[in-house]
Structure 1
Amino acid sequence: MTGLIPLTEHDGAQAVLGRDLHEFLAVTTPYDKWFPRMVSYGFEEDKDFSTKMSESTGGRPRTDHIVTLDMAKELSMIQRTEKGKQARQYFIECERRAKAQVELTGPELMAKALVQADSTIKELEARATTAEAIVEAAAPALEYHEKYIREDVDVITVDDFAREHGTTGYKVRAMLTELDIAFRRRVGSRWSASKNCMVDEFEWRAYAGKASNKWFDLRPQHNAPRLHNGQVKQTMYVKAFYAPALAKRLGLSKQTSMEVAQ
């Protein structure tokens, strides 16, 4: 990591500006389109972030956002890139230092994070000389990190899960129904201006009481149209940690990046 993500203070807590995070993560999608899409994962304004207007280089105001570190960590993991992992590790270290009331500068925090990452890599390389042996030796540590440190916040949509495995969201949902893993139920109705009538609203749920229930996470979609009774629509996501287990149950194999590109 060649640069730091500047921190700011908001309501007595550490925070980061959305545009600074967007720039560090090297996201190719323009910020004005990227941030609303990230908010659709279930974040709430005035709780997870607040809007602020800042002056652009051209002198005209532009929209920016003050993002809590909790939201920043989730946004970093959603990207599923090395930059995202580094950013999340940086935010975790910032929070830990703040709780311990130990004053360290940004460069010192980042230096410690990089030293820890470098130490882990050297330990893994020392255990074996082949790539296969290194991966095998790292598996328990990586599994522990994924299960207990990531805090189970990394999720993907059913459609994204399907694309990663060379199929469609429609087919995956059909398999979920056929195997009694999840089901589609009517949760209410709403007025459709295009159809000029009330239309039924449906949501997906994982079957309770089954081991597979923990593979999914139900999150509110605050930006989606509300039901006629005022309830917020909820979307079922696949937890990234359990995606391999779900794929195995459905008999799917993950595509390589080259296969997806083709």
Structure 2
Amino acid sequence: MNELLKVNYDSDRITLSARELHEFLGVKTKYKDWFPRMCEYGFSENVDYRLVAQKRATNNPKNPYTEFNDHEITLDMAKEIAMIQRSEKGKQIRQYFLELERKWNSPEAVMNRALEYSRKQVQALLQTNEKLELENKIKDQQLNELKPKADYYDQILQSKSLVLISQIAKDYGYGAPTMNKKLHELGVQYKQGGQWLLYSKYQNKGYTHSRTINITRSDGRSDVRMQTEWTQKGRLFLYELLRKNGILPIIEQN
């Protein structure tokens, strides 16, 4: 069968250009007047036809393209329009449409469309599965990245006892002098009378507890001194502060 007009099989039905049909039929009325008149026979937009904007090349360098309207119409609408024309061209194209419809509805064509639909469904499922698999891998990585932090939090929260700065420093691979100096640089504490004390803005927040301990001086004399111990709340405060300054506990370091 010779192709009289180009048709589209992209959707679940056959469609074609109304403007090309108008040209084939040899209608004398301009397309912009003819098509609205055809629609008066009971055709509905977005059901039987839809507007399609087209571009046409021109010889004007300043305006190389001009836009014009076309309409994509269903095969059923095209058949009725062809019948309305009552011309030899109308009869010819209607017979062409009937043959197209017969082939479209043949068992082989129906089976091919069903297979193609199934293939697209399988492809869509595979793409969805790949996307979900990638999302799961990203989530796994994020969880693995957050796990050390959660472990460290758990480690802190599980302990209810007070800790010395030497114990906290060990979490970061530091000694107590290095950690004390770092906290001083960060404006957390200052040293007075041999004891590290919090600056006023960090006092009364429950971060530390001072305890009096008995000591023996190098010359053998007994004495007492104050020892600053950190609460778990204070330990969490130090964790967040150090983390903001790029200092992570060993458990979170690469």
**Structure with a larger share of its residues in helix:** 2
* TM category, shorter: 0.3 to 0.5
- If asked which structure has higher relative contact order (CA below 8 Å, sep 6+), I would say 1
TM-score (norm 1): 0.37
